[in-house]
Structure 1
C-alpha cells in the first residue's frame, strides 16, 4: 500500500471520529459557516470593498485557529492517551504518515471552508478577483501546515484533552488579538508591530491580504508583480515557523502517555 493510500485510510477513520464529536464538529464546521452567513448580510458599497476583503481574510485565519489548531491538539492528545499513536507506529505507517493521517480531515475542512469564504466574498460581497492568487494560496496552504505542526507541538505539554482548553490559549489569544485580524499592524507603533509580526498567524494574514487586495495595511494597493516585494518578510517568518514546528515535532513529540 502506498503512502497516500495509508494516509487516506487513516484519514477516513479520523473523519468518522470527527463527525461523531459534536464539539469538534461545531468548532470546525458550524461556527465558520455561521460567520459566513452573518457577513453575507452586511451591505457593502464600492468604497468598503477593501475593508470587507480584510474581514474575509480574517475569517480565513479564524478557520486555521478553530478547525485546524484547536481541534488537532485535542485529536493528537486523545489518540496518544488512548495508545492509538503507539499502536500505529507498530505498523507500516511512518511517523509523518501518522501525523498527516490524523490531521487530514481537519486540513480538508479548512481548505474547503477557505474556498467557500473566497466564493462567498465574490458572490455576496461583490469583492474583486484576487490581485495575486499565488500569494493568497501560499498564505492559506502555508498557514494550514504551520498550524498542523503547532498543534502537534502543543500536544507535547497537554496531558489531557480537557487541558487543551488551557494550553492552547496563549497561541489562540495571541493570534486573535495580535496578528492584525482586528487592527492592521501598520497602525501600531513600529516596535510593537515588529514584535507582533513574529506571531505564527501574522505572516499568514499578511500574505492572504497581499494576495487578495495587494496591501496588508494602509499602503497603497500593489499590482500582481508589486505584491511580491512586501511578501518577502512574511514568507521568511512563515518559513521560520515551519522549520521550528518541524524541529519541535522531531525531537519533542510524544507518541505515548507519560507514566
Structure 2
C-alpha cells in the first residue's frame, strides 16, 4: 500500500462512522441482544455437567467464540452493509470524502467490539463455572481478534451475492455451515484421520483448536490433561492461526473482486 493511500485513510472519519453505526445498533434492541447476549448462551452448559469438565469447557468456550464471530460480526455486518447499499447510503457516501476502507471498517467495528466484549466477559464466567484459568490468555485473545476480522471478511464476501437484507437469512447459510461443521462434527470419535484432517482446515475447527491449546494447554486431539506451558502453546497454535489467516485472506480477496456498492439490478 502506498504512502498516498495511507494518507487518504482517515481514522477520525472511520471512528465517526463506527459511532454512527453503533448508535443504530443500540437502537435496534433485537440486534443488540443478538450481539451481546446470544454469544454467551453456551456458558450455562458449564453448570449442567461435571463441574470443571474440560470437554464441556471446550464446547462452551469454543461455542462463545464461534457465536461471537457469527452474530455480532458476520450476520450483523452482512445485513447492515446490504441494507445501506439498497438504501443508496453507501453510494452517496462514496461521492464525498469517505473512502471505501473507511466505510467497511466503520460498519464492521461495532460488531467486532461487541464480539470481543462477549469473549472477554466469557473468561471470568467460565472460571467461575469451574473451568481452569487459561494457560495462554493472550493466545485466546489473539484468536478472538482474528476470528472477528475473518467473519467480517466473510460478511463482505457474502454481501456480493445477497440481493436484500431479507435474503441474508439464506445467503448467510453457507458460511454458517462452513464455520459450524468443525465444532459440531470434528469431535466425533468415529471419524477417520483423513476426514478429521480435512475438517481441521475449516474456520470453526481452527477456532476450537485454539481453545484447546490456548485455554486448556492440550497437546493433541485426544489429550485430556493440560501439559503445555505458556511458551509451548504458541508453537502448537501455528496451524489453527494459519488456517484462520488463510480463510481471512481468501474472503478479503473474493470480497474485493466481487464487491457491489449499488443495489443489484
TM alignment of 1:85-104, pairs within 5 A = 85-104=90-109
TM alignment of 1:7-46, pairs within 5 A = 7-36=14-43, 38-39=44-45, 41-42=47-48, 44-46=50-52
TM alignment of 1:16-165, pairs within 5 A = 16-36=23-43, 38-39=44-45, 41-42=47-48, 44-46=50-52, 48-49=53-54, 51-123=56-128, 125-165=129-169
2:189 is aligned with 1:171: no
2:249 is aligned with 1:243: yes
2:195 is aligned with 1:195: no
Question: CA, structure 1 residues 212+187, in 2 after alignment: closer, same or farther (shift >3 Å)?
Answer: farther
Contact 2:41 2:64 survives alignment (8 Å): no
Q: Hey, what's the Cα distance between the residues in 2 that align with 1:196 and 1:173?
A: 12
What do the CA deviations read for 1:135-159 (whole angstroms, capped 9, x no partner)? 2122111100000000011000000
Contact 1:136 1:209 survives alignment (8 Å): no
3-state SS, counterpart of residue 127 of structure 1: coil
Q: Which runs of 4+ in 1 moved over 6 A?
A: none
Q: Let me know the Cα RMSD of the aligned residues.
A: 2.3
TM-score, length basis structure 1: 0.88
Q: Which residue of 2 is the match for residue 230 of structure 1?
A: 236
Question: CA, structure 1 residues 210+201, in 2 after alignment: closer, same or farther (shift >3 Å)?
Answer: same
Structure 1, gaps ≥5 residues long: none
What do the CA deviations read for 1:163-222 (whole angstroms, capped 9, x no partner)? 11101112213322x112465267621222122222222222211321100126322532
Q: Hey, what's the Cα distance between the residues in 1 that align with 2:28 and 2:133?
A: 36
Higher mean displacement: 50-59 or 103-112: 50-59
Q: Hey, what's the Cα distance between the residues in 2 that align with 1:96 and 1:167?
A: 23
Contact 2:77 2:156 survives alignment (8 Å): yes
Contact 1:14 1:102 survives alignment (8 Å): yes
Q: Which residue of 1 is the match for residue 4 of structure 2?
A: none
Across the two proteins, how many residue pairs are aligned to each other? 255
Deviation at 1:76, TM superposition (A): 0.9
3-state SS, counterpart of residue 85 of structure 2: helix
Q: Hey, what's the Cα distance between the residues in 1 that align with 2:213 and 2:190?
A: 17
Contact 1:54 1:209 survives alignment (8 Å): no
Structure 2, gaps ≥5 residues long: 1-7
Question: CA, structure 1 residues 33+138, in 2 after alignment: closer, same or farther (shift >3 Å)?
Answer: closer
